[in-house]
Structure 1
């Protein structure tokens, strides 16, 4: 197991920037929801003028929606991602601000007619505040039960169990928004080797709190034996999508 531990340690230390998982190319197979967030976002961008991308990460997804018809802004709360996002989005005319919807964002009321959010935390009241009347909010979220089977394997607990389609729709409806689209999906993600899982857990630290190769060596070795026995490392993704319009 020494050689495996050395490899897992290298995987844990591999650089991760923005929201780029290219390091795992060929080592992880992800299911996809039946809807296309990109398709829906592109259609929404085409009909908007003042656009905000919330929790833009390294700007990877938002950049793919360019060119933008009018004013485009992005906001990111994780400081290491700010320079990454600014390098990527700046040439597209997008200014990137630091902030998040939980603590508040540096924009006036009724600034945007489209707010996008893919896999980022948000507060419904803040979305409502910055949207113009008739403005659209489109979000794809990671469900609160995401990877519950993986978390259980490590004896952990879910980080955001209340992040559900029902709660988000209820919060937006209470603010007077009309729900145009609501979708829910569960699918699989498969890791082809334990090192790929190690990299994934280091890159997304809220899945397994205080994840560490040495601390969780017993679980990792058990998962490796599972693979050797011909049983895949397959776990359950949870995603939901909401499109709402402000009255």
Structure 2
């Protein structure tokens, strides 16, 4: 566990917030939080499992790749490796990260349903925390016998933190991203779901700067977040954390493996 006295020390609320506001939030890495927050990971080890599948693929597509960090962890990449990203700063980071390895980074428009690829192009489609899985498109771009392998965000993930700022959310929002419902949607699109695992993981934040940074990065958690708008809640958090109490939340994840039938 980090030494919380070293994290915040005698630095003021204003200093911690200003530092978090000026820090880079592009890409999909979280090293800025080292020593300031922790999150347990699902037991299955997605990055390692992904690397094994990429090493055995010929043509692979990674959806919503962020800055390409997870794909880049794989030692061996397929002969044809393509990634998509909708947020321009992340796409720039992905090109910097993956370009030298011959990976094609394709910019896509957020909210556009059709993928810019031909039918049956890939034997492997992957995603780590996709914005919204489009099962009919996954089915379309997969070759017969091809596999979709992904780790999705689950229902009510980090909601302790989200509801601290927004207040209680409706049950239909809390129940979104349900793994069984997503598996049913995949089946309805013609895929065979071969594996579905779920996990609930503990998160802890040790200083208010860590909270500000994560809300700047995950902008959909608290839409319209700003320091001025949530000054009171942030100062209450800061006071709590200076007393030695961390803020605890829980992330939810599910691992899904689905296949387009060979016949």
Do the two structures share a fold, i.e. TM-score over 0.5?
Answer: yes
Contact 2:51–2:71 (8 Å) recurs in 1: no
Gaps of 5+ in 1: none
What pairs up with 1:94-243 in 2 under 5 angstroms? 94-99=103-108, 102-103=111-112, 104-121=114-131, 122-156=133-167, 157=169, 161-243=175-257
Name the CA shift for 1:198/1:62 in 2 (closer, same or farther; >3 Å).
same
**Structure 2: tracts of 5 or more residues without a match:** 1-10
Structure 2 counterpart SS, 1:154: helix
Worse-superposed segment, 201-210 or 2-11: 2-11
Instruction: Please say if residues 46 and 68 of structure 1, whose CA atoms lie closer than 8 Å, have aligned partners that are also in contact.
Output: yes
CA distance in 1, matches of 2:69, 2:89: 14
Deviation at 1:64, TM superposition (A): 1.2
- The 3 A distance-change label for structure 1 pair 100 and 123 is farther
Compute the TM-score of the two structures, normalised by the length of structure 1.
Answer: 0.93
Q: Give the 3 Å change call, closer, same or farther, for CA 228–6 of structure 1 in structure 2.
A: closer
Q: Distance in 2 between matches of 1:96 and 1:6?
A: 37
Distance 1:171 1:91 in 2: 37
User: What is the TM-score normalised by the length of structure 2?
Assistant: 0.88
* 1:141-183 per-position Cα deviation (integer Å, ceiling 9, x unaligned): 1113101111111125487852121111001111221111101
Q: Helix, strand or coil: the match of 1:90?
A: helix
Size of the aligned set, in residue pairs, is: 247
| Deviations, residues 169-217 of structure 1 (Å, cap 9, x unaligned) | 0011112211111011111111111111111111111111111112111
C-alpha RMSD over aligned residues: 2.0
Are positions 1:53 and 2:53 aligned together? no
